[in-house]
């Protein structure tokens, strides 16, 4: 029984990394954010005033990456469902996904303003 669960967990990890790889390959915004990650981490380590600030700032950046992954998934499913045709609900889904990414970025920036400056 426990062996089956480890196999399931291993498969889940493989699928997760596949999602990261496919997002890297297909989503320019995700690539940009991943490339900015070392700069964000180093800057955060340098400028954070406490360990709590460090955790908050790095967590908010991680949420940006997560929001981008979810946005990429929304866009892929929407494109599949519409077959490349325009549909108002597809636009709504994509715009809401994009708004989630923008919201995460704004929370990250606001956290920096409050905790660092």
Task: Please name the residues in contact with 26: beta carbons below 8 A apart, sequence gap of 6 or more.
Answer: 72, 76
Find tokens 């809401």 and name the residue.
96
DSSP collapsed to 3 states, 59-101:
HHHHHHHHHHHHHHHHHHHHHHHHCCCCCHHHHHHHHHHHHHH
Number of domains in the chain: 1
Q: Quick one: tokens of 28?
A: 């320019």
Catalytic positions, written as ranges: 68
Q: What is the CATH number of the domain that holds 12?
A: 1.10.287.3610
Per-residue pLDDT of the chain (117 residues; tens, 9 = 90+): 899 999 999 999 999 999 999 999 999 999 999 999 999 999 999 999 999 999 999 999 999 999 999 999 999 999 999 998 999 999 999 999 999 999 999 999 999 999 998
Q: Quick one: tokens of 25?
A: 């390959």
- The whole-model pTM stands at 0.91
Angle among Cα 30, 32, 34 to the nearest 5 degrees reads 70
Domain range enclosing 83: 2-115
Task: Please name the residues in contact with 38: beta carbons below 8 A apart, sequence gap of 6 or more.
Answer: none
Under 8 Å between Cβ of 67 and 103 = yes
Find tokens 């045709």 and name the residue.
85
């Amino acid at each position: 029984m426990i062996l089956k669960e480890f196999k399931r967990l291993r498969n889940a990890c493989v699928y997760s990394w596949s999602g990261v790889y496919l997002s890297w390959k297909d989503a320019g915004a995700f690539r940009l954010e991943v490339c900015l990650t070392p700069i964000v981490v180093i800057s955060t380590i340098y400028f954070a005033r406490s360990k709590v600030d460090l955790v908050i700032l790095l967590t908010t950046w991680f949420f940006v990456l997560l929001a981008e992954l979810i946005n990429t998934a929304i866009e892929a499913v929407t494109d599949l469902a519409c077959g490349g045709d325009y549909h108002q609900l597809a636009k709504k889904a994509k715009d809401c996904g994009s708004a989630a990414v923008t919201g995460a970025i704004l929370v990250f920036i606001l956290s920096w303003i409050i905790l660092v400056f």
